Amino acid sequence: MKSKSKFAGMIMLLLMFALTACSGGNGPNDGAAPSNPDTSTPGNEASAGQDPKEPVTIEFMGHGNPNEKKIFEKLIASFEEKYPNVTVKYTSVPPGEYSQKMTTLISSGKVPDVFYVGGPEFYRFAEAGTLLNIQSYLDQTSLFNPDNVWKQAMDRYRFDGSKVGAGDLYGLPKDVGPWSFVYNKDLFDEAGVPYPSATAGDWTWDDMLEAAQKLTVDDNGDGKPDQYGVGAYSLESAVWGNGGEYIDYATGTVKVNEPEFYEAMQFVADLNLKHKVSPNQEAEQAMNAYTRFINGQLAMFAMGPWDQPAFWELPFGWDIAAWPASPNTGQTATWLGSMGFAVSAKSKHPQEAFDLAAFLSLDEQGQRENYQLGQAVPNLIDMAEGEFKEMDKGPQTRQVFLDIIQDYGRPDVVAFSKDTQWLDTFNQNASKVWNGEMSAKDFTAQIQPKMQELYDKGNK
Ligand code: CA
């Protein structure tokens, strides 16, 4: 399978080099490109040797809510204006059905030219040869400057033949999602508690706990808080900040049974079990942390950039801060999600498909529209650090988003796994710790061998 897909990729590259009459490119076949007398005329590069007016239809499939669909319809209309010979057939699938739909299309050989791809799927598809190696397209494009795109986002879509994160590019980022710590300013003001710091390392777990205790209130004295200090605290943030790891991908060793991990997990569990500043499972089922925050009954919570439009409607003040640092290390961390655009290795119009992916990922006007609608942080660095940061809408401290992207955000745990059962098993059983049935130390000692077995089975 692997050598076959590599061979196909090589043919594709050779073909492209010939068609674009490239000399001195940076592709892996540098120097091997034959000079083809049938090459296209100069200045005809973008049409890959075809008549530029020949109509081309490319299929694009994504997922998302109706709002996202509307945005993409707009972006596609702008693309079609810029490339009058290209028609984009756009399908938006409900997020829950997307994965199954893609699997079906792949097995029936009907992969769309351009489509969304996330972490574990990116890995599987790249390895199976489903995705086009777009490195040489990127090296030759004049549509954007690759140095002006977050490296942290681009690297998610690299594949070196065996691992994700290095090698040639097989996708472009749709977005980066810095998972941020958000707080209700009004509740902090009412309780006379100073706001969390936006600077990483300033505010520790201890500071957070002290604030959460002051912000947990039982109004009617029935013993159940009507307002909580903190909810849905990120386990990844606690573990990574404490110097722990879920897994060492270099060796494939699951590390949840190490003290840095289970101490952090116990800290998160104790926010409820011991300190009662976070809703327990029963309270969470009655009203989830998101709704509680929206209702003004939760002081500290988490958000992604995509939550902005809903939060803009809130009747109270809010802002984002750095995730609290572990007092053991002084460090903080959080995850930086991402979704990407990939091009099918079987696309009959790879240049146009690449152009669409590049337009959706990196076109200046599209990126501007996207952030103004509160969908994402721009993929373009100069835009993110300029007009996006100056934007006159919450969160006020937008630098936190950028700090996460540049400094302490990390790919979600599954980003480098083909098969995620090892982590699914952990998450499905973690309630034993959250409800106090087991200590984090005992639980992780018990489940580590099972996780290791599943990881080895699905990923080695
Ligand atoms: Ca109460």
Helices (H), 327-388: 350-362, 364-372, 381-383
Q: What separation in Å is there between the alpha carbon of 319 and the centre of ligand 1?
A: 26
Which residue type occupies 197? Answer: S
What is 33-177+338-402's CATH superfamily? Periplasmic binding protein-like II (3.40.190.10)
Query: 1: which DSSP letter?
Result: -
Average pLDDT, integer, range 188-200: 98
Average pLDDT, integer, range 244-249: 97
Q: What separation in Å is there between the alpha carbon of 318 and the centre of ligand 1?
A: 24
Q: What separation in Å is there between the alpha carbon of 217 and the centre of ligand 1?
A: 8
Which residue type occupies 248? Answer: D
Q: What separation in Å is there between the alpha carbon of 364 and the centre of ligand 1?
A: 50
Q: What separation in Å is there between the alpha carbon of 40 and the centre of ligand 1?
A: 75
Top pLDDT among 188 and 66 is at 188
pTM metric for this prediction:
0.86
- d(CA 336, CA 153) in angstroms, rounded, equals 9
Whether residue 108 has pLDDT greater than 90 = yes
Instruction: With beta carbons less than 8 A apart as the criterion, state whether 324 and 205 touch.
Output: yes
Q: What separation in Å is there between the alpha carbon of 218 and the centre of ligand 1?
A: 4
pLDDT tens digit sequence for 378-392:
999 999 999 999 999
Average pLDDT, integer, range 106-116: 96
22-31, 150-159, 278-287: lowest mean pLDDT where?
22-31
Top pLDDT among 139 and 24 is at 139
273 band by pLDDT with thresholds 50, 70 and 90: very high
- d(CA 195, CA 186) in angstroms, rounded, equals 10
For domain 8-13+179-335+415-459, give the CATH number.
Answer: 3.40.190.10
pLDDT tens digit sequence for 168-179:
999 999 999 999
Q: What separation in Å is there between the alpha carbon of 435 and the centre of ligand 1?
A: 20
Q: What separation in Å is there between the alpha carbon of 227 and the centre of ligand 1?
A: 8
Q: What separation in Å is there between the alpha carbon of 268 and the centre of ligand 1?
A: 23
Q: What separation in Å is there between the alpha carbon of 214 and the centre of ligand 1?
A: 15
Average pLDDT, integer, range 437-444: 98
Q: What separation in Å is there between the alpha carbon of 296 and the centre of ligand 1?
A: 15
Confidence at residue 65, expressed as pLDDT on a 0 to 100 scale: 83
Q: What separation in Å is there between the alpha carbon of 211 and the centre of ligand 1?
A: 19
Q: What separation in Å is there between the alpha carbon of 230 and the centre of ligand 1?
A: 16
Q: What separation in Å is there between the alpha carbon of 282 and the centre of ligand 1?
A: 14
How far is residue 26 CA from its own chain's centroid? 28
- d(CA 338, CA 118) in angstroms, rounded, equals 7
pLDDT tens digit sequence for 318-351:
999 999 999 999 999 999 999 999 999 999 999 9
Q: What separation in Å is there between the alpha carbon of 234 and the centre of ligand 1?
A: 25
Q: What separation in Å is there between the alpha carbon of 404 and the centre of ligand 1?
A: 36
Confidence at residue 171, expressed as pLDDT on a 0 to 100 scale: 97
Neighbours of 276 (CB within 10 A): 19
Cα torsion at 210, 213, 215, 218 (round to 10°)?
A: -170
- d(CA 173, CA 136) in angstroms, rounded, equals 17
Confidence at residue 373, expressed as pLDDT on a 0 to 100 scale: 86
Q: What separation in Å is there between the alpha carbon of 183 and the centre of ligand 1?
A: 21
Q: What separation in Å is there between the alpha carbon of 289 and the centre of ligand 1?
A: 16
Q: What separation in Å is there between the alpha carbon of 223 and the centre of ligand 1?
A: 6
- d(CA 283, CA 222) in angstroms, rounded, equals 14
- d(CA 241, CA 323) in angstroms, rounded, equals 9
Confidence at residue 116, expressed as pLDDT on a 0 to 100 scale: 97
Q: What separation in Å is there between the alpha carbon of 222 and the centre of ligand 1?
A: 5
Q: What separation in Å is there between the alpha carbon of 429 and the centre of ligand 1?
A: 30
Q: What separation in Å is there between the alpha carbon of 212 and the centre of ligand 1?
A: 16
Average pLDDT, integer, range 280-302: 97
% pLDDT > 70, the chain: 88
Instruction: With beta carbons less than 8 A apart as the criterion, state whether 250 and 215 touch.
Output: no
**Which residue's structure tokens are 């929206």?**
294
Instruction: With beta carbons less than 8 A apart as the criterion, state whether 113 and 60 touch.
Output: yes
Q: The dihedral of CA 314, 319, 320, 324: what is its sign?
A: negative
Comma-separated ranges of CATH 3.40.190.10 domains in the chain:
8-13+179-335+415-459, 33-177+338-402
Confidence at residue 51, expressed as pLDDT on a 0 to 100 scale: 56
Contacts of 273 (CB under 8 A, 6+ apart): 280, 436
7 band by pLDDT with thresholds 50, 70 and 90: very low
Cis peptide bond prior to 309, omega within 30° of 0:
no
Whether residue 10 has pLDDT greater than 60 = no
Q: What separation in Å is there between the alpha carbon of 290 and the centre of ligand 1?
A: 19
Q: What separation in Å is there between the alpha carbon of 316 and the centre of ligand 1?
A: 22
- d(CA 294, CA 309) in angstroms, rounded, equals 12
DSSP string, 90-143: EEEE-HHHHHHHHHHHHHTT---SEEEE-HHHHHHHHHHT-B---HHHHHH--S
Confidence at residue 23, expressed as pLDDT on a 0 to 100 scale: 32
Residues in a beta bridge with 61: 91, 115
Q: What separation in Å is there between the alpha carbon of 220 and the centre of ligand 1?
A: 5
Query: Is residue 251 classed exposed, middle or buried when 0-12, 13-18 and 19+ CB atoms within 10 A define those classes?
Result: exposed
- Coil, strand or helix: which one is 301? strand
Q: What separation in Å is there between the alpha carbon of 277 and the centre of ligand 1?
A: 13
Residues in a beta bridge with 58: 88
Instruction: With beta carbons less than 8 A apart as the criterion, state whether 173 and 361 touch.
Output: yes
Residues in a beta bridge with 380: 149
- Mean pLDDT estimate for the chain: 89
pLDDT tens digit sequence for 14-55:
444 333 333 333 333 333 333 333 333 333 344 444 555 799
